[in-house]
């Protein structure tokens, strides 16, 4: 590939996922990722701080969740506000084009204990972000924490289901279905 071709970031992500699958995450270097993408090491570092960031991004998910909760109607319950946040995630991050990346990313993370730990820490950070966004809406702290935890569970289950679907159901649709199932389950507890 010529170095001047567009979409350097996407090429780096594709190269990294290919190499992680072929050699394992630990055995892949930034230089190898850049070379596979037909780019330089300095181009890699213009897009990512390190190779973990290829898998975990730059924190955009927290912003999407906060924005989605803030944009929910005033009358929305805490879980309905979380549903709005997941709709936003589905519209802007978990698009049909993301489905293949998501499945490949999941396989790399599942194969590496260090990455599973990083994923868990990221999840805790997102729960805190959602709880804080709900509290900004006037939701009491305990209610916000419970809604954030349920939202995180719903998002995890929805993402797993969405990745496994052959049809073109949107992430938002799947997430709303999971939220409804969780509401039903918690009502019977």
Sign of CA dihedral 113, 114, 120, 122: negative
Residue 62 and residue 89: Cα distance in Å, rounded?
Answer: 10
pLDDT band at 1 (very low <50, low <70, confident <90, very high): very low
Residue 114 and residue 120: Cα distance in Å, rounded?
Answer: 10
Following DSSP, what letter does each residue of 1-46 receive, concatenated? --TT-S-HHHHHHHHHHHHHHHH-STT--HHHHHHHTT--HHHHHH
Please report the domains of the chain, with CATH numbers, ordered by start residue.
8-54 (1.10.10.60), 59-187 (1.10.357.10)
Residue 163 and residue 84: Cα distance in Å, rounded?
Answer: 20
The pTM score is: 0.85
Tell me: the pLDDT tens digits for 50-68? 999 998 876 789 999 999 9
Flag whether pLDDT at 100 surpasses 90: no
Tokens for 27?
Answer: 């055995």
Q: What angle (nearest 5°) sits at the alpha carbon of residue 97, between those of residues 91 and 101?
A: 110
Q: Which of 30, 74, 70, 79 is nearest to 52 (CA)?
A: 30
Q: Which of 60, 64, 51 is nearest to 19 (CA)?
A: 51
Tell me: the pLDDT tens digits for 119-168? 999 999 999 999 999 999 999 999 999 999 999 999 999 999 998 876 77
């Amino acid at each position: 590939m010529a170095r001047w071709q567009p979409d350097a970031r996407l090429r780096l992500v594709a190269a990294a996922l290919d190499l992680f699958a072929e050699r394992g995450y630990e055995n892949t270097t930034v230089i190898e990722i850049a070379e596979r993408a037909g780019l330089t090491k300095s181009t890699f570092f213009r897009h990512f701080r390190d190779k973990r960031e290829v898998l975990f991004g730059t924190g955009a998910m927290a912003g999407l969740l906060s924005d989605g909760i803030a944009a929910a109607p005033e009358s929305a319950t805490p879980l309905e506000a979380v549903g709005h946040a997941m709709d936003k995630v589905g519209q802007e991050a978990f698009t049909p084009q993301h489905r293949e990346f998501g499945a490949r990313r999941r396989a790399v993370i599942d194969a590496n204990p260090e990455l599973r730990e990083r994923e868990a820490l990221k999840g805790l950070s997102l729960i805190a972000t959602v709880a804080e966004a709900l509290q900004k809406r006037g939701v009491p702290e305990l209610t916000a924490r419970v809604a954030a935890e349920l939202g995180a569970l719903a998002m995890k289950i929805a993402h797993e289901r969405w990745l496994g679907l052959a049809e073109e159901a949107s992430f938002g649709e799947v997430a709303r279905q999971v939220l409804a199932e969780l509401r039903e389950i918690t009502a019977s507890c």
